[in-house]
Amino acid sequence: MAKIRIKDIAEQAGVSVGTVDRVLHNRGEVAEETKNKILEIAKGNNYQPNLIARALTSKKQSVFASLLPTPTEEDIFWQKPLNGINDAAEELEQFQVFVEKFFFEHYNEQDFIKQTEAILKLKPSGVVFAPIFTKESIEFTRKLDKIGIPYVFVESKLENSNYLAYVGSDGYNGGRVAANLIDFGIPTDGDILVINLAKNLENVLHLNQRTQGFLSYFMDKGKNEGLKITIEIPTSKSELIKEKLNHVLMQNKNIKAIFTTGSKVYKIARYLEANKLNDMILVGFDPIDQNIHYLNKGSINFLIGQHPYQQGFKAVKKLFEHVLLQHEINKDEYLPVDIINNECFKLYQS
C-alpha cells in the first residue's frame, strides 16, 4: 500500500493542500469541522509526516553535549570516539544540530563533576557521555533525569539508570573473551596477573566490569587452575609500573600471563620487553598505534577491539533520531568485539 501524501488527504477532504498542511503541522486557524475531517482522514490512512524534511526546514537549533576523557598521547584511545562524534555532528549541521564537546582528566573525578555542572548549565537537548566514574555518573544521570534531558552512554553503561540508549561492547563479556584467549595458551598450573591502571577500581565502571568478566570465566569453565592475582596501579607512569611489576613478579615466580583491562597495555609490553620476559602471554584492549607497535613485535599476543569510532558516531545519531525525528530507539546496541593478533594487525593501522 502506497503512503498517503498531503495532496491525497486534501483531495479526499475537498480542501487545499495549504489547509491540510496547517492542520497537520498545527499552524494557523482552520474551522473545527474541517480540522476534524482532515485528522480523521490522516489517521484512517496511517499518515506519517516526513520528519526529516521537517527537520531540514526547521530554523530551530538543537545543541547536544558530549563528555569524554581528554584525548592525549597517553589516552589516545579517546580520540576515536571523538572522531565519530565530530563526523556525526558534521553530517547533522544541515539539520541545525550542533554538538558542544566537554572533556575531563581521565583519573580526576572532581574534573568530571566540574564538566557535568557546565553541561547542566548549558541545558542541551541531549548528552552523549562515557560513565567512567560510577558514583559521579549516577549523580549526573539523576540530574539529567530531573530536567528531562535524554542521554546515551558509550564505552559502558549504568544498568539501573534511565538512559535512552547505549552504544558499545559488553565489558563483562570482553573480559571473558580475554580469559578464553589466555586459557588456551597458559599451562594449567600457571598463575595469571590482572592489571588495572586505575586508582579506585570499584568506581571505574568499564575496568571493573572487564575484571569481573575475566575472573568469572575461570570460576565456571576455564581449564587454568593457577592463582589469579589482581593489582591496581593508580597511574600509568612508567616508573610506578616498573616498581609495581618488579614487586609482584618477584613475589610470584609462577606468573605466566598478564591481562591488562584497559588500552595502555603497551606500557606493560614495554616493561616486559625491557626485562626480556619474552615468554609471558599479554592480552589487553584496543588497537591504538602504541599497542599495534608491540603487537607487531610479539610483545602483545592479543588485543580486543571494540569499535570506538562507531560508538561516538552512532550515539550522536541516536540522539538526533530521538529528539528531532521522534523515532523509537533501540536501547542497547552492542557492537561486536574483534580479536586482533599480529597476523591481522595491518587492518587496524591508521
What is the DSSP annotation of 239-303?
A: HHHHHHHHHHHHH-TTEEEEEE-SSTHHHHHHHHHHTT-TT-EEEEE---HHHHHHHHHTS--EE
Instruction: Please give the single-letter amino acid code of residue 37.
Output: K
Residue 164 clears pLDDT 80, i.e. is over it = yes
Cα–Cα distance, 195 to 235 (Å, whole number): 12
Confidence of residue 286 (pLDDT cuts 50, 70, 90): very high
Bridge pairing between strands 338-340 and 302-305: antiparallel
**Cα–Cα distance between 237 and 252 in angstroms, integer?**
22
Can you tell me the distance from the alpha carbon of 8 to that of 112, in angstroms, rounded to the nearest whole number?
Answer: 54
CATH code for the structural domain at 171-305? 3.40.50.2300
Closest Cα partner for 180 from 256, 54, 279, 283?
283
Task: Give residue-wise pLDDT tens across range 304-334.
Answer: 999 999 999 999 999 999 998 888 888 999 9
Helix (H, G, I), strand (E, B) or coil at 53: helix
Q: How confident is the model at residue 48 (pLDDT cuts 50, 70, 90)?
A: low
For residue 118, give every residue at least 6 positions away whose Cβ sits within 8 Å of its Cβ, in sequence order, or none: 102
In this prediction the pTM is 0.81
| Angle ∠(288,133,350) on CA atoms, nearest 5 | 10
Helix (H, G, I), strand (E, B) or coil at 58: coil
Fold agreement (61-168+308-336, 171-305): yes
The full DSSP string for 110-133 is HHHHHHHHHHHHH--SEEEE---B
In the chain, where are the structural domains located? 6-49, 61-168+308-336, 171-305
Per-residue pLDDT tens over the stretch 135-149: 999 999 999 999 999
Nearest to 127, CA basis, from 139, 113, 141, 138: 141
Closest to 132 in 3D by CA, of 68, 210, 214, 213: 68
pLDDT > 80? residue 230? yes
The class that CATH gives domain 61-168+308-336 is: alpha beta
As assigned by CATH, the class of the 6-49 domain is mainly alpha
Backbone CA torsion sign across 269, 272, 273, 277: negative
